[in-house]
Structure 1
Amino acid sequence: MSQGKIVDYKNKISVINTKLSRLKDLYVDGLLDKDTYKKDYVRLQEELGELARLSMQQPTVPAAMNRILSDVDDFMLTYKILPKIKKRELWQSLIRSIELGERPGRGKPYTDITVKFY
């Protein structure tokens, strides 16, 4: 999975379940032989299992983030009215780590700051 990209596994799983249903219909209607049905069924079940595994590994987007993303016209207003705990939840769900680079001396600003996202 590429960094920062959220994949819609729920939709992909739904598509495969639809294919499984259609495959069964073709077999029941006699339009598909048993060997072809078994081969395709096993392949689709493996894809389904892989998608389920990948979906469990993907970080979830919190409800606060969904509200902000869906409010294209007034992001700042939506963010400002979020309770402090929801703002923290939002940032913690998006940022994996913050790394501070070298500091030239006491009281001086850091030279490099790296933010890594999920």
Structure 2
Amino acid sequence: FAILLIVPAITAISEEVELASEGLGARWPSTFRHVVLPMASPGIVGASVVVFTLTLTDFAMPEILGGGKNDFIANLIYDSFFQISDPGLGSALSIILVAVGSILVAGVFHLAGPGTLGMRGVRQ
């Protein structure tokens, strides 16, 4: 999923900007670090948020590969609803999952700043 957000962010960077950097004497590592990465940062940060959110709620892979030996929060929520029939515990774990995910995504938005992720003009 990350590639779907990172590739358009990188391909949207004009080749003239990179050529201007090289024309001013920058080598490709410096051009990549000082030109490409800052301009592609909205796509990179957005991809990180999407991948983190999908990983946080992943259920199938730990269940299939681990055979139920490793418990992730999504697996615990499923077990509490369908195996031990405790909907209160499942609901509490679901709220914890949503709260932790929301706090971490809000933290990423705060650290990334208003100039990324389409949040221009949110803060003044």
Please tell me the TM-score bracket, short chain as reference: 0.3 to 0.5
User: Could you state the TM-score of these two structures normalised by the residue count of structure 1?
Assistant: 0.33
User: Could you state the TM-score of these two structures normalised by the residue count of structure 2?
Assistant: 0.32
Higher helix proportion (structure 1 or 2): 2
Higher strand proportion (structure 1 or 2): 1
